[in-house]
Amino acid sequence: MLFNLLQTTGFEADTVASVAQAAPQPQEMSYSLIEMASKGGWLMLVLLALSLIALYIFGKKWWMIRQANKIDRNFMKDIRDYIHAGKIKSAKMLCERYDSPVARLVQKGIERIGRPLPDIQAAVENTGNVEVARLEKGLSFLATIAGGAPMIGFLGTVTGMIQAFFNMSNAGNNIDITLLSSGIYTAMVTTVGGLIVGILAYFGYNYVTSQISDLIFRMESATIDFMDLLHEPAEKEE
């Protein structure tokens, strides 16, 4: 009796083990990022192109700002000393040493020394406007990418859901969850891709804008200091 019971128990255990082995096991997500992105369809190529453009613009502006900030803190003091000493050529050479908007607008003012002060101020301000336009060139594209990339992602969401419902309508009564998988996968992947590109472009745009604002403030301060410098000899003569 005990032997039969052990045989029965062993048989049931083998049956349960075989059923457990035959049951489908949940698959782990083993896709790489490239494979996942490829599931998003052709819109992912558009998002990739936008991300490369945004990266190029951000890198270029970051490098320009970095170079513009490489200027000695005593720059204006040295310019003042040279001008008071009558060393105009040395002052120009000091400006040429720096690839900075501040140095270029001061150089433009030095080149106009000897003309009426309003003409000098106008030349410096025009140079400042050109430098600001140069710094801000391309930022509109970065802002457009920040706002447009999520919209492209949502477009992929809509097209993916349309594809899913289209597959359901063609299946008739044989509706299977696998018919929805490809469309929903496309919808989710494009949404995530668009949000990632948009968020990165948005933060990059705000960072570059804030750095340019600080640089414009330094340019305005340098302009004021230079114009005050030109008034100093006249004040001393009085």
| pLDDT tier at 210, thresholds 50, 70, 90 | very high
In this model, does residue 55 exceed pLDDT 50?
Answer: yes
In this model, does residue 206 exceed pLDDT 90?
Answer: yes
Contact 226, 112 (CB under 8 A): no
Residues 169-203 pLDDT 10s = 666 666 666 666 666 767 778 888 889 999 999 99
**Would you state the pLDDT for residue 108?**
87
In this model, does residue 24 exceed pLDDT 80?
Answer: no
Contact 153, 194 (CB under 8 A): yes
Higher pLDDT: 186 or 62? It is 62
Q: What gap in Å lies between CA 213 and CA 190, rounded to an integer? A: 34
Share of the chain above pLDDT 70, in %: 71
Query: Which residues, 6 or more positions from 184, have their beta carbon under 8 angstroms from its beta carbon?
Result: 160, 161, 164
Q: What gap in Å lies between CA 97 and CA 103, rounded to an integer? A: 8
Residue 118 CB: number of other CB atoms within 10 A?
Answer: 8
Query: How far is residue 120 from each of residues 85, 106, 173, 227, measured CA to CA in Å?
Result: 20, 10, 83, 8
**Would you state the pLDDT for residue 199?**
94
**Would you state the pLDDT for residue 161?**
75
| pLDDT tier at 54, thresholds 50, 70, 90 | very high
**Would you state the pLDDT for residue 232?**
65
Residues 76-115 pLDDT 10s = 888 888 888 888 888 888 888 888 888 888 888 888 888 8
